[in-house]
Amino acid sequence: MRDTSGTKMSNQRAASPFSRLSFVIAVSASAMLSVVGPTHAAPAKDPLPADIPDYQAALNAVKSTDVHNAVCRFLRTPVPTGDAGGPVQTIPETAEPCQGLPVFTIKDPVALNEITPGFVAGTAKPLPTEAIKLTQLVSSLSTTVNGRNATVMLAPTQGGGWHLAAVRDGDSDATYAGKATLGTLVFSEPQIRGWYQLKLTTVEPLNDQARQGLGGQASVSLTDYQKLVKARYADKLPGSEYDTTGYSSGYSLPRTEDDASPSALLLAGGSSAALALAGAAVVLRRRRRASTH
């Protein structure tokens, strides 16, 4: 379980991400939940992100020259090979990082929702508004660049808005996060890279890791899912060894072929960026640290 305290928004803004959760309940049970705090509507072509606070700021970030250049630098650097504990490779600063690369744009960001510490600990009720929270926004590229795609990760900025947290190889996060539909919610169990769809209070797996996480079941109730994650992570919450070492958890399911492939991550922050080979658990740890900047 990742500690996201460093990326929490103000109390007023923290309630806004749950408006879509409220709508999920309203569609199925005709019960509207109150939503606190201002939100900014997304373009008319995509109404779902209207539930993301300061969405216009997120759009401005992914369309900015700085973020575009960061992605270009990332794509210019070959994915390192070797052990995850190998040396960090520095990405050189260049005046025109996108020169010579195919033209690409960054898609509009979508919500990356994750299970909450309270839900894992069993102290929060098995309700959508208490089980899931918005932690980051993710965007993929409009096209592959020299055979590669990338995910742009935005973290909430203290006081409002969004900033670049990281760029990582591949586009699976954005692909799964984008599967949310009217009346449903998609969320991640980051410790196992599992992705799920929540339909009112029914949890369904979207990938192999999630199916393994549910023990091969096609669906479970949110209550039963809470029992599963509590058994897996309740002893790895903040204050535990997981928290002090920075790892997302000490638990993992058997790795699939896709999950075992090399993964590269560019960390945003400071005057330079670093590219590191990492397995899933280490990627999550580094992403957590990046989100606190």
Which two three-digit tokens encode residue 164?
């670049």
Which two three-digit tokens encode residue 54?
């300061």
Q: If 0-12 CB within 10 Å is exposed, 13-18 middle and 19+ buried, where does residue 96 land?
A: exposed
Distance CA 113, CA 10 (A): 18
Residue 16's pLDDT is: 43
Strands (E), the chain: 89-91, 110-115, 132-140, 150-156, 162-169, 185-189, 194-199, 202-205, 220-221, 264-267, 273-277
pLDDT at 273 over 90: no
Residue 49's pLDDT is: 52
Q: What is this structure's pTM?
A: 0.70
Decide if 291 contacts 136 (C-beta within 8 A): yes
Decide if 290 contacts 268 (C-beta within 8 A): yes
- 101-155 pLDDT, tens digit per residue, is 999 999 999 999 999 999 999 999 999 999 999 999 999 999 999 999 999 999 9
φ/ψ (deg, to 5) at 210: -70, -40
Query: Binning pLDDT at 50, 70 and 90, where does residue 74 land?
Result: very high
Distance CA 191, CA 236 (A): 11
Mean pLDDT value of segment 227-243:
77
Residue 107's pLDDT is: 97
Residue 235's pLDDT is: 79
Q: Which residue has the higher pLDDT, 266 or 251?
A: 266
Beta bridge partners of 91: 273
pLDDT at 33 over 90: no
pLDDT at 17 over 80: no
Sheet holding 162-169, edge to edge: 89-91, 273-277, 264-267, 162-169, 150-156, 132-140, 110-115, 185-189, 194-199, 202-205, 220-221
Decide if 279 contacts 82 (C-beta within 8 A): no
Burial profile 31-68: b = 16 or more Cβ within 10 angstroms, e = fewer: eebebebebeebeeeeebbebbbbbbbbbebbeeeebb
Distance CA 262, CA 6 (A): 28
- 43-57 pLDDT, tens digit per residue, is 433 443 557 899 999
Name the amino acid, one letter, at 222.
L
pLDDT at 272 over 50: no
Distance CA 142, CA 107 (A): 6
Q: How many residues does the chain have?
A: 293
Q: List the alpha helices (DSSP H) in the chain.
A: 11-14, 19-29, 55-62, 65-76, 117-121, 128-131, 172-177, 208-213, 222-233, 241-245, 280-290
- 144-195 pLDDT, tens digit per residue, is 999 999 999 999 999 999 999 999 999 999 999 999 988 899 999 998 999 9
